Amino acid sequence: MLVRARRLAGVLTTFASLWALLVPTPEVAPAPAGTPQASVAHLSAPRGYVESEHVLAGRASAYEAVGTWGADGRWHARAVGERTPYRTRVIVNRPADPRRFNGTVYVEWLNVSSGIDIAPSFAQARDQILSSGAAWVGVSAQRAGVEAAKRIDPARYGSLEVPGDAFSYDIYSQAGKAVRARARQLLGGLRPHRVIATGESQSAFRLTTYVNAFSRTTGVFDGFLVHSRFAPAAPLGEGLMGPVSPRIREDVAVPVLQLQTESDLGGWEAVRQPDRGNVHTWEVAGAAHADVHTLESSAGTDLDPESAAARMGCARPINDFPFRYAADAAYAALERWVRTGRRPASAPPLEIVDDWLQRDADGIVRGGLRLPDVEVPLAVHSGQGNYALNGGFFCLLFGTTVPLPAERLAALHPSVDAYVEAYTAAADAALRAGFMTRSDRDAAVASARARAEAVLVP
């Protein structure tokens, strides 16, 4: 079966590459010397990576829907008007030693929800991306990111121009095409064997629309990691969410892994679909749309739930659940699926009734992909329940972490040794299922005793 799956994966990759011939190849030039906006070099350089920035220039199309777009995601779109010139940029991080490159390139649709380009999916899964030897490319596909970069550094980015978000899908296709066709310029001569699209939050909304309306006709990407989408998909033009909440089309030609947190599940029941064909979903218990680890990646310093809440102006301590373990495992599982045809392990869905997450007596959500920090808890981690002191929106996405009361901890964990033993067993179970990587399992278990000693009464 595995040999047959590998052959099928090879056939689909060949088929996709033929379709990709229809996507224009942009011109690539090095960006001016200096530090790129949204640089991740502070995270990648210590791991033996080199960062570069490049200008992509070409002509892109806007699109309109063909027919009625329904919830099944079997969407079609067609180009409207003449192709319009654009100039945007991409950030590349690749192993400095070519011998470390594993052949995989992740192409992240940079997120613009905060008004500037950021790379939240890389921030969560960076340990797996960097330790595996993959390359990472961040794409400024949307106008807001480019305009923000121009305001921040007009000398560096003044010549860039994205005519509007209606062109973002074609720009993203062309950036993915350039990873292979312009590998000498973009990747320093590294030869990619797998090009995988990734995006989180608003970028995941766009990827949902991309998968449903474009993936079968562009053939640029070998797989998709749709990270923290809500139920609605993005529109073809401007705006955050379109009017339709779709499933991923069941006839998608390449693997699609949807990675969801508790925060992402409003209206989610309507778009849930089984793990079959090329569609797979993990819903992670205890996880928030964004968390302390997300903030640490940009702050450059360690934070705890309280200090993170103060930094963000949130009313309650911010979620400190190690969702990054599931993100690392998702990247590893999708890469293996694309490479070998072996699909990821299935996890049960989170328990939802009438759009309400079901929780146990402690407040911990039931069901879902369960990592050891919810199976053997010291705190209640939730993707919900926070709000901003000034009435803003973003704190809603950061969830909460609330320590369990001392008497409850004593009932659950009669000793530090008992906690460590139970935590280790849960981590081993997650590793066997493919929900943690080996390095994350080892790191989590190694720090379990210190975590327990900090909160458990001897």
State the residue for tokens 């390095």. Answer: 439
pLDDT level of residue 20 (50, 70, 90 thresholds): low
The 3-state DSSP class for residue 308 equals helix
Q: Which of 128, 124, 44 is nearest to 92 (CA)?
A: 44
Calculate the CA dihedral of residues 267, 271, 262, 428 and round it to 10 degrees. Answer: 160
Angstrom distance (rounded) from CA 29 to CA 6: 36
**pLDDT tens-digit readout, 224-277:** 999 999 999 999 999 999 999 999 999 999 999 999 999 998 889 899 999 999
Q: Which class is 2-254 in CATH?
A: alpha beta
Angstrom distance (rounded) from CA 242 to CA 209: 9
Angstrom distance (rounded) from CA 451 to CA 327: 22
Angstrom distance (rounded) from CA 133 to CA 329: 15
**Domain chopping of the chain, boundaries:** 2-254
pLDDT attached to residue 298:
81
Angstrom distance (rounded) from CA 357 to CA 195: 35
The 3-state DSSP class for residue 210 equals helix
Angstrom distance (rounded) from CA 423 to CA 431: 12
Angstrom distance (rounded) from CA 77 to CA 236: 9
pLDDT attached to residue 414:
95
Per-chain mean pLDDT for the chain: 94
pLDDT level of residue 19 (50, 70, 90 thresholds): very low
Contact 390, 315 (CB under 8 A): no
pLDDT attached to residue 439:
97
pLDDT attached to residue 61:
97
Query: Tokens for 449?
Result: 């005793």
pLDDT attached to residue 21:
58
Residue 326: alpha-carbon gap to chain centroid: 11
Query: Tokens for 257?
Result: 């892994």
Count, residues in the chain: 458
Task: Please check the confidence at residue 205 and state whether its pLDDT lies above 90.
Answer: yes
Task: Please check the confidence at residue 374 and state whether its pLDDT lies above 80.
Answer: yes
Contact 81, 60 (CB under 8 A): no
Angstrom distance (rounded) from CA 253 to CA 102: 23
pLDDT attached to residue 137:
98
pLDDT attached to residue 394:
87
**pLDDT tens-digit readout, 310-348:** 999 999 999 999 999 999 999 999 999 999 999 999 999
Angstrom distance (rounded) from CA 196 to CA 338: 9
pLDDT attached to residue 119:
97
First to last CA, the chain: 52
pLDDT attached to residue 11:
46
Task: Please check the confidence at residue 130 and state whether its pLDDT lies above 70.
Answer: yes
Contact 317, 402 (CB under 8 A): yes
Query: Tokens for 182?
Result: 């312009």
**Helix 292-299 × helix 120-132 angle, to 10°:** 80
Q: What percent of the chain has pLDDT over 90?
A: 90
The 3-state DSSP class for residue 436 equals coil
DSSP secondary structure letters along 56-115: EEEEEEEEEEES---TT---EEEEEEEEEEEEEEEEEEEESSGGG--SEEEEEE-B-TTS
